Chains A and B, each alone.
Chain A
Amino acid sequence: MTGVAEATTSILREPEYRIEGRDKVTGAARFAADIVRPGMLHAAYVTSPFPHARVVSVDLTRARAMPGVRAVLTGAETKPQRLGRRLQDWPLLAWDRVLFIGDRVAVVAADTVEIAAAAAAAVDVEYEELPAILDPEAALAPEAPVLHPDAAGYAYLGGGTRPTVPHPNVQGHGIREHGDVDAGFAASHRVYEHTFTVARTHQSYLEPRASLVWLEGDRIRVVTTNKAPFALRQHLSVSLGIPESRIVVDAGHIGGDFGGKGLSIDEFVLYHLARVTGRPVRAVTRYADELQATNTRHAARIILRTGVDPDGRILAHTSRVIFDGGAYAAGKPVATLMPGDAMLTLAGYRVPAARVEAMAVYTNQVPAGHSRAPGQPQNAFAAESHMDLIARDLGIDAFALRERNVVRPGDVDVTGQPWHGTDGAALLAKLRSASRYDDRTANIRSVGAKGIGVGIALGVRHVGRGRASMVLRVTASGHVELHTGVSDQGGGAHTVFQRIVASELGVPLEQVAVIRGTTDAVPNDPGVGGSRVTPVQGSAALAAARALKKRLGDRELEEVGALEVIGEAAQETHEASMYAYALVAEVDPDTCKVRIRQATLVADVGTVINPVALRGQLEGGFVFGLGQAVMEDLRVEDGRVVTANLGDYKIPTIADVPPLTVELLTEDPGPGPFGAKSAGELANPAVGAAVANAVHAACGVRVMSLPVTAEKIWRESRRSGS
C-alpha cells in the first residue's frame, strides 16, 4: 500500500469543490421525484387501519368506476410475491393478513395523485381484527400467536440458509461467548446490572422515497431513491421472477439516506401497474407515510451486566439485547437479520470474558430497518451509560475508568477478537486536552455551578468492507472518465473518487470526470452503506488509476488514444476506528430543560480525502445523534404512529445546535485509499450516552432511556428525590 506521504499531494491538501455542487445550488440536480415520463400515472395505496387483522374481502367496484383510474390491484394478483433485502417476508400486497397499521392491501394507478388517493379511499376492505402483539416480550411468550407461520417458504437472499431462531416470532438471533465468563464474575469485586431502553426513531431524510417504473421493449426501467441500485435489481428479480438482465435501475442524486434508503417497497407493485396499464407509473411517498410506513430505527431493550475489579477493570460481561423488529424483517440486509452491530454491547473496551445475546423480534409494529450505524445508537447508549454508572458507584472519575479499560491494538474486546484499530488511550488523551476536561470540571466544582455538568462517551465503528469495481476510460483527447455505479446520497462520493484518481495519476482535477451509470452500463456495485464508500469504492477508483498508470508506462495520457481499464477492490479489513465526545450540559432546575452548551468530538479518521465533506459528515453525524438523544421519538400508541409529521416528530433545527469543536486523529493510516478510513457512521451513535452522562453530572438524575427529555428528567428527579 502506498503510504500517507505520497497521498498528501497538493490535490488532497486543498479543500474540495464538489463535482455536483453547481447542480445542487442552482436547482439543476434532478432527484427521483423530479423525473417525469409522458403518460405517467400515479400510485396510491389502500392500507390497513389495524395492527393485526384478517382481510375478509376487498371490493374494488367503486374505485374502478372512477374516471381517471387506470388499474387497481390487490394481493390476489401479486400473491405470493414478497419483498425484502435479505429475507423476503413482506407481501407486495397483503392477501390474507395485515401485520401492522399501514400494511398495504391494494394499489391504484390513476391519472393524477388526487384521483389515485380518492380511488384508494373508495376501496372497501372488510377486516376481521386479530389480537395484536405490540411488545417483543409478548411476542416471545410460548403461547404467542405466530406472525409468520409460512416463514419456511420465504426466500433468503445472498446465499446460505437463514440462521435458526429460538422462537417462531424471532427474526434473527445471535449468541457469542468468549473467555471464562463465570470465573470472571466470581473474581469480580462488584457486579453491575442495568437495563436501558431506546426509542424508535426515523432517519428523516428530507426527500421522501420516490420511484418511477416503465416498460421499454422487454426492459423494465426503474428510477428510484434506492441507494443500492444493483441490490434493488436483484430484489426485483427474485421477487418478480424476472431475470436481472431485463431490469435497469437508475438511482441518481439521493436526498439523504441515513440507512433508510436501502429498502424499497414501491418499485415491485409499480412494475405490476406498469405492466397492466402499459404506462409509466410513479409513487412519491407523502411525508406522513414515510414516518408511518416502514424502516424505523429499532426500538430496543438492553440489559448489561458487568463485573469489575476494585480499580474498575472489566473482568466479565454479559448482555441481552431485544430489538423490536416490527412486522417484517425485510429492511435488514445482513445475514443475521438483526441490526448490523446488534451484538456490540460494550464496544471500545478490553473485555476478557463475555457472553452476548441479541435478537430482533416480530411484532405488529411498523417494520424496523437500518438506520445510520445500525444497532450502535442503542448499544452505545447502554454501554456508555453503564460505564458511567459503574464509575460513579466506585467513586472513580468517568474519564479515568475509561482510560483503564479502553482498547489498544491487540487487546481482546467484546467480540472476543483482537482489536485492530485506534489506540483508545491516544484518543482519550486527545479528548481530555481538546475538551479542556480538567479545567472545565475543576471550574464547575470550584464555583459550585449548579445544573452544569460534563459527560463523556466513546464509540467505535468498523471501516467498511466489501468488493467493488469501476471502469476508467481515457478519451482520445486524453481526458479520463471514471464510470461508477455509486449514487451519491450526500457524502460526496464522486468527488472522493475524482480526487483519488487525479492524485494518483498526477493530473489536474478538471481532467478527471466521474460518470455515474445505470445498472446496465457499469460494473456491479454494492451501493452506499456499511461505511464503505471511501474504503471500498474509493479503493476501486485507486485500483483503476493504478491499472491505468501501468498500461501507460512512460506515455502521456494524450498519447495513448482511447483506452479502458477496470479497477477492482476487495476490502477485507477488520479495522475499526474510534471517536469520543465530551459534552457540557446545563439542566434548568425548574423546567428540567437540557441545553447543550458545548460539544467536543475527537475522531480517528486516518487520511482525509475530502476535508470539507469529512467535516460535514462528523458535524452532521453529531447533530443526527443529538436529535435522537434529546428529542426524537417515533411514538406509537396501539400500533399507530402518533408523531406522523415533521411538526410532531421533531428533528433538530439550526437553533438547537450547540457550538462544536472537532479534532481529528489522522496519523494512523487506515485500510482505505492513501490511508483513509470511514466517517459517515462514526459520529452519531455515542451522542445519546454523552447527553445522559452530562445530564447526570449536571443535576444528579440518571435517565435510562432515549431520548433524554425534560419530562423524563423531571419524573426521575421526583422519583429519586434528587
Chain B
Amino acid sequence: MSTHRLRFTLNGTPRELEIAADRLLIDVIRDDCGATGTKLGCGVGICGTCSVLVDGELVSACLVPAVFVDGRSLTTVEGLAQDGELTPLQDAFIRDGGFQCGICTPGQLIAATALLREHPRPDGREVRDWMMGNLCRCTGYYGIERAIMRASGAGGQSDGRGLGGQRPPSLS
C-alpha cells in the first residue's frame, strides 16, 4: 500500500502525518491524532457517532479515507468549546437532557452545530430532518431537540413535540 503525506488542521492546529492511503479518517483522528472524542459506532455510515466537520461540511468519518481531508480543516467535538467556554449548544445539551450515556453526543453536537450554521432558527421539522442521521439509543431524542431549540434562541420551546417548552417535572 502506498503511503501519503497528509496535511490538514485539526481544530485549528496544523497536522502533518505519513499514512497508508487506505486509512479511514475515523482511525486517523482517533488513533494517530489521539482525538478520541469522535466515536466509532456502526462503522457503516448509519449512526452518526463519527460525525465531523470538514471545512464546515458534515462528514461521517467512518466512511471516508483520511486523504479526503488533505489540505482541509477538520473540526471535531474537541474543537467546539473555545478557551474552555462551552458553546450555547454544549451548555444546552447538559441543561436539557441532550445526552445520557454520551456516546452519541460528540456526533450530535457536531451535526447540530452544522444545522445551526445553516438554519440559525430551525423549526422542529428542520431539526428532525437534519438530525435524522444521528442515532441516539438513550434519550428518545426529545432532550436533543429541546437542547437545539434552546441553543437556537427559541428558549427550549419546540413545536409542542416531546415535553416542548414545559418545565421539567416538578416535585409537587
A residues contacting B by CB (< 8 A) are 8, 12-13, 15, 17-18, 20-31, 33-34, 203-208, 253-258, 284, 286-288, 488-492, 607-608, 611-617, 619-624, 645-647, 651-655, 657-662, 664, 666
Contact of A645 among B42, B106, B141, B144 (CB under 8 A): B42
Contact of A254 among B76, B86, B99, B101 (CB under 8 A): B101
Contact of A287 among B42, B127, B162 (CB under 8 A): B42
Q: B95 in the interface, Cβ–Cβ < 8 Å?
A: yes
Contact of A206 among B36, B49, B76 (CB under 8 A): B49
Determine if B140 and A27 form an interchain contact, defined as CB atoms under 8 angstroms apart: no
In the complex, chain A residues whose CB is within 8 Å of the CB of B93: 21, 25
Determine if A619 and B162 form an interchain contact, defined as CB atoms under 8 angstroms apart: yes
For the complex, what is the distance from the CA of A608 to the CA of B99, rounded to whole Å?
19
Q: B65 in the interface, Cβ–Cβ < 8 Å?
A: no
In the complex, chain A residues whose CB is within 8 Å of the CB of B78: 26-28
In the complex, chain A residues whose CB is within 8 Å of the CB of B138: 256, 490, 616, 620
In the complex, chain A residues whose CB is within 8 Å of the CB of B134: 654
Sampled A-B contacts (22; CB under 8 Å) = A15-B168, A25-B77, A25-B90, A25-B93, A26-B81, A27-B77, A27-B106, A206-B47, A490-B100, A612-B97, A613-B97, A613-B100, A615-B163, A615-B168, A616-B139, A616-B140, A619-B142, A623-B139, A624-B140, A645-B44, A647-B46, A666-B171
B residues contacting A by CB (< 8 A) are 30, 35-47, 49, 76-78, 80-81, 86, 90-91, 93-97, 99-106, 109, 127-129, 131-145, 160-163, 168-172
Determine if A646 and B135 form an interchain contact, defined as CB atoms under 8 angstroms apart: yes
Determine if A623 and B46 form an interchain contact, defined as CB atoms under 8 angstroms apart: no
With A616-B100, A624-B140, A653-B132 as contacts: A255 and B47 at CB distance below 8 Å: no
In the complex, chain B residues whose CB is within 8 Å of the CB of A612: 95-97, 143, 168
Listed from nearest, the 7 A-B pairs whose CB atoms lie closest are A27-B37, A255-B103, A490-B101, A623-B140, A490-B100, A24-B102, A21-B94
In the complex, chain A residues whose CB is within 8 Å of the CB of B30: 34
For the complex, what is the distance from the CA of A8 to the CA of B45, rounded to whole Å?
46
Chain B, residue nearest A491 (CB):
B100
For the complex, what is the distance from the CA of A615 to the CA of B141, rounded to whole Å?
12
Most buried by A among B45, B47, B78, B140: B140
Give me 6 other A-B pairs in contact (C-beta within 8 A), A26-B80, A28-B78 excluded.
A25-B102, A25-B105, A620-B100, A653-B135, A660-B163, A661-B163
Determine if A25 and B100 form an interchain contact, defined as CB atoms under 8 angstroms apart: no
Determine if B40 and A27 form an interchain contact, defined as CB atoms under 8 angstroms apart: no
Determine if A27 and B35 form an interchain contact, defined as CB atoms under 8 angstroms apart: yes
In the complex, chain B residues whose CB is within 8 Å of the CB of A614: 169
Determine if B37 and A17 form an interchain contact, defined as CB atoms under 8 angstroms apart: no
Determine if B94 and A33 form an interchain contact, defined as CB atoms under 8 angstroms apart: no
Determine if B171 and A8 form an interchain contact, defined as CB atoms under 8 angstroms apart: yes
In the complex, chain B residues whose CB is within 8 Å of the CB of A23: 102
Determine if B100 and A207 form an interchain contact, defined as CB atoms under 8 angstroms apart: no
Determine if B39 and A255 form an interchain contact, defined as CB atoms under 8 angstroms apart: yes
Chain A, residue nearest B158 (CB):
A659
Contact of A657 among B43, B47, B140 (CB under 8 A): B140
In the complex, chain B residues whose CB is within 8 Å of the CB of A8: 171-172
Contact of A492 among B45, B91, B100 (CB under 8 A): B100
Determine if B109 and A25 form an interchain contact, defined as CB atoms under 8 angstroms apart: yes
Determine if B95 and A17 form an interchain contact, defined as CB atoms under 8 angstroms apart: yes
For the complex, what is the distance from the CA of A206 to the CA of B76, rounded to whole Å?
18
Determine if B102 and A20 form an interchain contact, defined as CB atoms under 8 angstroms apart: yes
Determine if B140 and A253 form an interchain contact, defined as CB atoms under 8 angstroms apart: no
The smallest beta-carbon distance between B60 and chain A, in angstroms, is 12
In the complex, chain A residues whose CB is within 8 Å of the CB of B96: 612
In the complex, chain A residues whose CB is within 8 Å of the CB of B39: 31, 33, 206-207, 255
In the complex, chain B residues whose CB is within 8 Å of the CB of A661: 163
The smallest beta-carbon distance between A34 and chain B, in angstroms, is 4
In the complex, chain A residues whose CB is within 8 Å of the CB of B141: 623, 652-654, 657
Chain B, residue nearest A27 (CB):
B37
Most buried by A among B30, B47, B128, B134: B47
Chain B, residue nearest A492 (CB):
B100
Contact of B46 among A254, A258, A488, A646 (CB under 8 A): A646
In the complex, chain A residues whose CB is within 8 Å of the CB of B101: 205-207, 253-257, 488-490
Determine if A616 and B36 form an interchain contact, defined as CB atoms under 8 angstroms apart: no
With A22-B86, A207-B103, A287-B44 as contacts: A620 and B139 at CB distance below 8 Å: yes
Contact of B103 among A20, A31, A646 (CB under 8 A): A31
For the complex, what is the distance from the CA of A700 to the CA of B36, rounded to whole Å?
51
Determine if A256 and B103 form an interchain contact, defined as CB atoms under 8 angstroms apart: yes
For the complex, what is the distance from the CA of A661 to the CA of B163, rounded to whole Å?
6
For the complex, what is the distance from the CA of A500 to the CA of B140, rounded to whole Å?
26
Determine if A25 and B86 form an interchain contact, defined as CB atoms under 8 angstroms apart: yes
Determine if A624 and B40 form an interchain contact, defined as CB atoms under 8 angstroms apart: no
Contact of A26 among B37, B95, B171 (CB under 8 A): B37
The smallest beta-carbon distance between A348 and chain B, in angstroms, is 22
With A27-B106, A614-B169 as contacts: A207 and B41 at CB distance below 8 Å: yes
In the complex, chain A residues whose CB is within 8 Å of the CB of B45: 647
Determine if A26 and B94 form an interchain contact, defined as CB atoms under 8 angstroms apart: no
In the complex, chain A residues whose CB is within 8 Å of the CB of B161: 657-660
The smallest beta-carbon distance between B114 and chain A, in angstroms, is 15
In the complex, chain B residues whose CB is within 8 Å of the CB of A12: 171
Chain B, residue nearest A113 (CB):
B27
Determine if A29 and B102 form an interchain contact, defined as CB atoms under 8 angstroms apart: yes
Chain A, residue nearest B41 (CB):
A206
Most buried by A among B44, B134, B168: B168
For the complex, what is the distance from the CA of A661 to the CA of B30, rounded to whole Å?
40
For the complex, what is the distance from the CA of A619 to the CA of B133, rounded to whole Å?
20
For the complex, what is the distance from the CA of A24 to the CA of B140, rounded to whole Å?
18
In the complex, chain A residues whose CB is within 8 Å of the CB of B136: 206, 654
Determine if A654 and B128 form an interchain contact, defined as CB atoms under 8 angstroms apart: yes
The smallest beta-carbon distance between B97 and chain A, in angstroms, is 4
The smallest beta-carbon distance between B93 and chain A, in angstroms, is 5
Chain B, residue nearest A683 (CB):
B140
Determine if A647 and B44 form an interchain contact, defined as CB atoms under 8 angstroms apart: yes
For the complex, what is the distance from the CA of A207 to the CA of B106, rounded to whole Å?
13
The smallest beta-carbon distance between B127 and chain A, in angstroms, is 8
Contact of B171 among A28, A607, A617, A652 (CB under 8 A): A607
For the complex, what is the distance from the CA of A623 to the CA of B161, rounded to whole Å?
13
Determine if B97 and A615 form an interchain contact, defined as CB atoms under 8 angstroms apart: yes
In the complex, chain B residues whose CB is within 8 Å of the CB of A33: 36, 39-40
The smallest beta-carbon distance between B107 and chain A, in angstroms, is 9
For the complex, what is the distance from the CA of A306 to the CA of B130, rounded to whole Å?
48
In the complex, chain A residues whose CB is within 8 Å of the CB of B169: 608, 611, 614-615, 662, 664, 666
